[in-house]
Chain A
Amino acid sequence: MQKNKHYTGMKVVIYIVCIFLAILSIFPFWIMIINATRSTYEIQQHAISFLPSKFLVKNWNILTGKSFNVLRGFTNSMIISVCSTALNVYFSSLTAYALVIYDWKLRNAFFKFIMAIMMIPAQVTMIGFYQMVYKIHMTNNMLMLILPSIAAPAVVFFMRQYLQPTLSPEIVQSARIDGAGEFRTFNTIVLPIMKPAIATQAIFGFVNSWNNLFTPMVLLTDQKKYTMPIMVSLLKGDIYKTEFGSIYLGLTLTVLPLFIVYFALSKYIIAGVALGSVKG
């Protein structure tokens, strides 16, 4: 009895906190979507409103009228984000696997090296990177935004930290006894074990890549290659003609695919198909 009561009180607190946080989370999305239906003028008067207005179509026309090609932006962003996320999680898992399961001479040195490059501030290596890309004349090449994600030190670090306690060497041993090659063992046995970690990192990676503005902005100068965030920033940059409603609509469109990916992968966040929980 006593115990139950304690739980109920506890639960009330938990729910109050959670609902409060949930409202905080929904709030900006709500404002963004509502403002996408409001006119620039209405937004200037009151940036925040909880009720939609009737300017969605007008905003859409302004948006698409400003050489804002939604479909192209979508496609470009998708290509870059999907490819770089896939490369990112796959090769990071592979590298992490190499770090966890094999005893090789340079293993510790390599791990320390990864940790070290993870700490380098991004802002200035940027300069060197841009100069390099311009020098080798690879601007406007999406590969320049996709390929570097193969080497993602932070993700390798996460995967290693995840794999370290969860993967038992015995599983790998038994696969070897069954005659599986090392590469196959990784693909068929280890990858499934890492599913929850891969799902979370895939979400993070996708979100990062999708929202990345500065690098694509400097490297992709060809309108055909523009990603969604570049297009949105163009709207904002047209300082003489600030169309807030359309900007919010653009921002909303940028978030939509993220929602889709996010909710598709969110079951891993919700349920978590972790190694330990697969019982029997």
Chain B
Amino acid sequence: MRNKKSVKYAKYGYLFSLPFIITFLIFSLYPIFYTLVIGFTDMKGIGATKFHILDDPLGNFKTVLSNRTFKMALKNTVIIWLGNFIPQIVLALLLTAWFTDRRCKVKGQGVFKVLFYMPNIITAATIAILFGALFAYPTSPMNDLFHSLGWAKEPIYFLQNKKLAKGVIIFIQTWMWYGYTMVVMISGVLGINPEIFEAAEVDGANRTQTFFYITLPQIKTILLFTLVTSVVGGLNMFDIPKLFLDGGPDNATITTSVFIYKQAFAGSYLYNRAAAASVIMFIIIAIISAIMFRILKEDDPESAYAGKKRRVRNAEK
């Protein structure tokens, strides 16, 4: 029965996807194709329009993979990403649990939610300027603080220290994005049918149980979204590392995107190497995302069935 109807309506699936596809073809296909191709060519230098495939088509890829700065950038990217991804998800989940708890309403949570997302509003350039000022050397609020608390006699060159510089970037990233993650997750939780929670309460589930056994599985799709976009966003991290310390000190905060940017724009216009590095990053991100899909088993038939059953019940009501 259902199948027959679906067939009839299938053309709308194509029709409604058409604007997306057309726009994509016009604005993105050429740039993407371009990147893919020049990764295998000798195209570099300003004004380069002619290029030909290298004798060793994988030459650029080999160069990039053996490039010390690229390896450093890859390592940094993973460290900075994990460093902000984990606290960010934990914090966002915790806040989501608190704010959506039906039995323990947090007063003023509206204000809190609005405030927590706010760091995401300011442009990265402003944040870079502010944090630069906060941690400046030799005089800055942070140095004042350390001095007055007696933690340091001499002013500390915070941002000259590789670990601290990385740490500050991790902090900025966490601080900028936990609110976003929280908002996304809360919007997912709010989409859950309240009857499910009521039922859980009746069954005597406590709040921790409710959160782990009811809420989390219910927002699985949104969670998957968060995880995947975080992988994509985190591994393409560009604004803050570029604007805050421009990859320094001593390449301690260079990320792969900053590396790609520098290859392409800062100096030699090595478009081909930049393109090869992009393709490598794409492959890495795709693999990690695929693993996440696998873990969360997006198309788990059983849960889909349960969901459908629930929906039917809902509709009948």
Contact = CB atoms under 8 A, between A and B. Distances in A.
Same complex for A and B? Answer: yes
A210 to B, nearest CB: 8
Dominant secondary structure at the B interface? helix
A57 B153 CA distance: 40
Interface of A: 7, 10-11, 14-15, 18, 21-22, 24-26, 28-29, 31-32, 46-48, 91-92, 94-95, 97-99, 101-107, 110, 114-129, 131-132, 147-148, 150-151, 154, 156-158, 161-162, 164-166, 168-171, 174, 182, 186, 196-197, 200, 203-204, 207, 211, 213, 229, 232-233, 236, 247, 251, 254-255, 258-259, 262-263, 266, 268-272, 274-277, 279
Interface string B1-35: 00100110111111111011101101110111111
11 contacts: A11-B104, A46-B141, A94-B20, A119-B285, A121-B285, A128-B33, A151-B24, A162-B188, A251-B122, A266-B113, A276-B194
B126 A272 contact: no
A273 B106 CA distance: 18
A31 B122 CA distance: 12
Contacts of A10: 104
Contact of A14 (B27, B98, B186, B271): B98
B12 A165 contact: no
Contacts of A132: 30-31
A107 B124 CA distance: 37
Given A119-B289, A158-B222, 6 more contacts: A48-B134, A123-B278, A151-B23, A164-B221, A207-B121, A272-B187
Contacts of B268: none
B232 A148 contact: no
A272 B130 contact: no
A99 B11 CA distance: 12
B93 interface: no
Contacts of B28: 117, 125, 129, 148, 151
B110 interface: yes
B190 A272 contact: yes
A10 B119 CA distance: 26
A263 B277 CA distance: 40
A4 B182 CA distance: 27
Interface residues of B, number: 99
B20 A91 contact: yes
Nearest to B223: A161
A107 B10 CA distance: 10
Interface stretch (B54-62, B246-254, B256-264): B256-264
A268 B184 CA distance: 11
Interface in B102-129: 104, 106, 109-127, 129
B17 A119 contact: no
B208 to A, nearest CB: 11
A161 B221 contact: yes
A28 B312 contact: no
Interface in B205-243: 218, 221-222, 224-225, 228-229, 232, 236, 238
Contacts of B194: 276-277, 279
Contact of A182 (B9, B17, B184, B285): B9
Dominant secondary structure at the A interface? helix
A196 B13 contact: no
A33 to B, nearest CB: 12
B290 to A, nearest CB: 9
B148 interface: no
Contacts of A271: 110
Contact of B307 (A92, A98, A165): A165
Given A276-B190, A276-B193, A126 B31 contact: yes
A166 B187 CA distance: 11
Given A274-B191, A276-B193, A229 B125 contact: yes
Interface string B86-102: 00000000010010000
Most chain B CB inside 10 Å of its own CB: which residue of A107, A120, A164:
A120
Contacts of B66: none
A129 B125 contact: no
A269 B190 contact: no
A120 to B, nearest CB: 6
A232 B125 contact: yes
B40 to A, nearest CB: 14
A118 B289 CA distance: 11
Contact of B121 (A94, A103, A182, A262): A262
Contact of B136 (A7, A14, A47): A47
B282 interface: yes
B140 interface: yes
B191 A276 contact: yes
B35 A94 contact: no
A158 B225 contact: yes
Contacts of A97: 16
B158 interface: no
B116 A213 contact: no
Contacts of B261: 123
B118 A269 contact: no
B92 to A, nearest CB: 11
A50 B285 CA distance: 43
A200 B20 contact: no
B24 A119 contact: no
